[in-house]
Each structure stands twice: as structure tokens, then as C-alpha cells.
Amino acid sequence: MEDRDHLTQHSIPQLLRWRVEATGEKVALREKDFGCWNCYTWNHYYDFVRRAGLGLKKIGFGKDDKIAIISDNIPETLYMAIGAQAVGGVSAAIYQTSLPHEIGDILEYLNVSIVFCNDQEQVDKVAEVREQIPFVKRVIYEDPRGMRGYQADEWFMFIEDLYKLGDELHQEDPALFDSLVDEGSPDDVCHYCLTSGTTGLPKGAMLTHRNYINMGLQLTKVDPLEDTDEYVSFLPFAWIGEQMNSFGVAMATGISLNFPESVETSMDDLKEIGPHFMFGAPRIYETIRSQIWLKIDESYWLNRVVYKYFMKIGEDAAGYRMSGKSMPGKLKFLAWLGKQIIFRPLVNQIGFLRLRRAYTGGAALGPELFTFYQAIGVNLKQIYGQTEIVGIAYMHRDGDVRPDTVGKPLPGTECRISEKGEILSRSASVTPGYYNLPEKTAELLEGGWLHSGDAGYIDENGHLVVIDRISDVMHSKDGNMFSPMFLENRLKFSPYIKEAVIFGDEKEYVTALINVDPIVVGKWAEDRGISFSTYMELSNQPEVSELIKGAVQQINENAEKPHFKIRRFAILYKLLDMDDGELTKTGKIRRKFVREKYNDLYDALYDADVSEKKVEAFYQYQDGQTTTVDTTIHFYTMEED
């Protein structure tokens, strides 16, 4: 593979221009619109970035100004972000699911002067907090549908009008844009990536051009990519997991980015593209696993028998592949046969047939789920990092996939474990700090190392093992340490369990609040004639309770240590939701918040005399409206060995 380290000497706009010079007519982007895939070459890409950048300059946007992007994944998100960077500005992205007051607080914190929204829904949110953000000069929108009421107000601007201003400025001075791009430095801050905000307002991690490009280059030194490879952009652009691919990997390798028609159609559109690599949060792989389970459950009995047999073969074969060991001849043949008969058609149905590698990160994935995907022929690997190191710093290598670890450091990444067990990292991808938060920056980068806030250790094979957040690691009353996240992942491997929250710090035993999977459990209930109309009714069925009890019992039987066993649990009447503050935007549990919100249930879990409790269920919808419903929660005690 050619040495491409020289690419870190470019800014992202400069690297985009370099791509144009190298392969200008190659397809860089595709977007599905009205059922058709529209292709854009690197030449088109650069032209749109120029039009956006010069248009922004024409309306007064310049060096060190900030643009916030609140949008679904469309090419315009990149045109606006890189266009702003090209004229010396800084981009930032806000989750589309954010409520108006959250958007207002973030815009105020970052001192944003321009906001880009893809549609009326997001524009309405910004308009709602207009009085809070007098420093915002313009709100630019991409989709004009429903925008008639805003057209008379100059504060709102259609993107095509911005492009026209950019074209006019380019005609006046054809050399201006390239000269502005030339002024950029790889060490300039180009983007503020918001942290997941598990404890309050997100912090803006300042990331440089070099941060992103270095990460893309180091990743591909481990897992090479060709410029003919395809990637589907379906993760929220506000998440570092998407930025590391659209900014870092795409620019470093020249792969093509594909944008689905909508969030709702993203997995169907993925099947049409058949990407060569994929990155997703654990929740995505858990959902796909549940869908596969449903397909098998709905098939003929013979298919289920054959699937079960070859799944066992696949799991045995996966053990050899993951360890890089040579497979016995008989097992190799049976694994090949199972792939042709069962797994190849199955993998094709979910769009993974061309997938060489799949990555997961953002949270730990249970070892059982790793083995499942490897068994069906999907080369799923764990990555580990954080926003402040551009998402990836550690990853599994092919032939050295250990499900209980997150792999080894990327080339150029140093790792050490502090005296208190915290994972520390150092590389060219580490952030310079948080925007306008000098004290938090000093804590983050104390001693010249990035402090992760995670507890972990390096095993005898040089792999990093992540235990949990230091703040989340628990100890039993006897002083035994355990990771709640580890037990939660064990529970979530059951197709019937969608989410779980483990408790037990300084307690005599471990307890759990559990969410059943509404799709899988709903199908299970329908097959058995169990009637229900809402999630609350489904989760309260006695038969469902017995089903979940069986899943918990299985976890307890396989527990390595006694203090890993779950003594009591309850099934929550609602799904944990980010709109209710229970999950972060990336799907992580806000553990402290959940503990406080459901304190009465927590107390009941540790009162063996309580078998049920009447509660007032509180819901908050995405539009901010609330409602309450009375219900009864049942508590279950597991039998001790």
C-alpha cells in the first residue's frame, strides 16, 4: 500500500482539491432522491463546496466564525461544513432529535453566526428560540417545502440563493476561493464535535484537520480500503462515528459516500449499495440480530433445525477465524456448506454480502453478539476511542479478534493505564481541548495524555480491555468489583431484551430494570394468542414476565462469579428514551439520571417484601408535550442456587 502520510499536511478543503486533481471524474458522493441514485464526482463535490464557501463569505461569514448544521445525512451537510472550513470558519453539528431549548443552549455556547437546516422541522426549532440567539445572522435551509411563511424574512435563506451569491463572487474573483483554501493549515480547528453529554450540556471538542485525516490514514494502515469501496452514510452527522468516515476516511482514501433517501429507508438503501465496510453503534447490530431472529422464527421448522445446526458449526469456525488459527478440514467444509446454504442468502438479505469488515463502537458490545456475527460470516470488529480522539484509537485486527477486548492501538497511538486504572492515550488525533472550557481541557489533557474516564487494563496479548466508565464501575457490599455495562450486554444478547439498567453498588446483590424488545416479544405474544395494544400492556403480561425470567436465569447460570448474578428485576412500563433524558443522543444510558428518576422502583428492588407497586407513569413526547398514566410494576426474585 502506498505511503499516504503526506496527506496529513493538508487541510480538509486542500485534500478535497487534491482529490479533484488526482481523480476528478471519479464518483465521490451518491444521493438517493425520489427512488433514484444521483452521482456526484470529486469535481462536482469541490464545485459545490466552493459555491457554499464563497456564498457564506458574501453574507459576512469569515475566519473563526461558526456554522451549526442540523440536518439529516445529505451531501449539503458536507458542502456547508467544508465550505465554511475553506473560508476559515469552524463547523459544528447538532443532533436532529434535539429539542428547541437544547439547540438554543448549544448555539449560545458555541456563539454560532450561521445555522444550516435541511428542512422545515429543524428551521421551526431554531425559529422558536430566535430571541435567545441574536448573534445568529442567517438560517439557511435546503428543502423549501413548507417554508413559504419564512420567505419574506431575510433571516431565512434558501441554499440555492446562497449558491448564486457564491457564483457571483467567483465570477468577480476566480482566484479567490483557491487562495482562501491555501491559507488553511492542517492544525487549524475545523469542527466542534459535541460530546454525548451524559451529565449535562455537551462540550464542544475542538478537532483539527490533522486530527481527522490522521485517524483516517491510521485506520486504513490496519484495514486497507480501495478508492472503489463504498460506504453508506446513515449515522447522525453530529456523532463522531459519522464524521470520522465522511471527513477522515473518505478524504484519506477516496472512497465513495452514499446518502440514503431518508432516515427511515436507510437500511433498505444500504441493501442496494452493498457497502464494503460499515460502522455502527451496538444498538444497530442488536436490532439487525433481532430481525434475523424473527426471520428464522417465522420460517419452516426444517429451516429452523438446519439453521440451529449450522449456527453451532459457524460458532466453532468463528473461534478459529477470530484467533487466526488453521481450521480442521471437516469443520472447514461444514462451515463452507453452512455459508452456502444458510448464511450467504441471509447476509445478502441484510445487505452485508460485499462487507469485508464491520465495526462497532460508542459502547461495548457483548461477546455473544460478536460470535454470532462472525458465525454467519460478518467480520464484525470492536473499535474503541472517544470524541476527543476522533472516535477510533484501538481496534481488532483480522485474525486477532477477541470478543472481550477492544483490540490494540492504531499505528501512532500510545496507551498506558494510570495508577487508578484509567485508560490514557496519546496520538496526532487527540483534540487540542474543549471550546471555551479551559478547566475541563486541563483535566482532559493532564500530563500530555488524553484521559478517557474509562477503567481498563492491557492483557497478556497486548489487547486493551475496557471495564466501564470509572464513575460507573460498581462494588458489591463485599467489595467485589463488577461492570454494570458487562452485565447489561449479557442481558441484551437475549432477543427478548432491548435494554437493561443494572444496579448493585454497595449492595448485597445485583438488580435490574429491563425493557423488553417490542418487536420480538410482540411477535412472540401474538403467536401465543396473548392480546395487548400498547407497550405497557405487553410488558405487564405474566407470560412475558416468565419469558424474561428465563432469560435472566440463563445469565445467572453462566455467571463467572456469584456477585455477577441478578437477584431481582422489574420490567419497565416504557422504553428508555433520549427524549425523556434517559439515553444520550448516541443511545448510552444516563445511569445517574435513570437511578434518580426511578428511585421508587430502585428502592423496591432492594425490598424483598415488595412484589408489586403502583406508579404514575410519566411520558414526554418529542414535541415537548407530557402525559401521565397509572400502572402497576411487578418485581421478581430469582431463585438462588
The more confidently predicted of residues 585 and 113 is: 113
pLDDT at 473: 87
Q: Cell 471519479 identifies what position?
A: 26
Each residue's pLDDT tens digit, 311-324 = 999 999 999 998 88
d(Cα 511, Cα 568) in Å, to the nearest integer? Answer: 5
**Mean pLDDT over residues 350-375, rounded?**
86
Domain architecture of the chain: domains with CATH: 5-275 (3.40.50.12780), 278-384 (no CATH), 474-637 (3.30.300.30)
Closest CA to 42 of 25, 18, 66: 25
d(Cα 396, Cα 383) in Å, to the nearest integer? Answer: 7
Between 18-22, 296-300, 435-439, the lowest mean confidence (pLDDT) is in 296-300
Each residue's pLDDT tens digit, 220-231 = 999 999 999 999
Q: Which helix (H) or strand (E) holds 370?
A: helix 367-375
pLDDT over threshold 80, residue 402? yes
d(Cα 512, Cα 488) in Å, to the nearest integer? Answer: 9
Strands 566-571 and 612-620: unpaired
Categorize the per-residue pLDDT at 621 as very low, low, confident or very high, splitting at 50, 70 and 90: low
Angle (nearest 5°) at CA 7 between 463 and 55? 120
pLDDT over threshold 60, residue 199? no
pLDDT at 76: 97
**Mean pLDDT over residues 313-336, rounded?**
92
At residue 282, φ and ψ (nearest 5 deg) are -50, -35
d(Cα 524, Cα 547) in Å, to the nearest integer? Answer: 10
d(Cα 239, Cα 391) in Å, to the nearest integer? Answer: 9
d(Cα 484, Cα 300) in Å, to the nearest integer? Answer: 38
Strands 474-475 and 481-482: antiparallel
Are the C-beta atoms of residues 406 and 463 closer than 8 Å to each other? yes
Closest CA to 237 of 125, 137, 118: 118
**Mean pLDDT over residues 282-306, rounded?**
84
Three-class SS state of 185: coil
**Mean pLDDT over residues 542-561, rounded?**
90
pLDDT over threshold 70, residue 270? yes
pLDDT over threshold 70, residue 198? no
Categorize the per-residue pLDDT at 472 as very low, low, confident or very high, splitting at 50, 70 and 90: confident
pLDDT at 277: 93
d(Cα 96, Cα 125) in Å, to the nearest integer? Answer: 10
Closest CA to 419 of 457, 472, 459, 464: 457
Between 144-148, 223-227, 579-583, the lowest mean confidence (pLDDT) is in 579-583
- Percentage of the chain surpassing pLDDT 70? 97
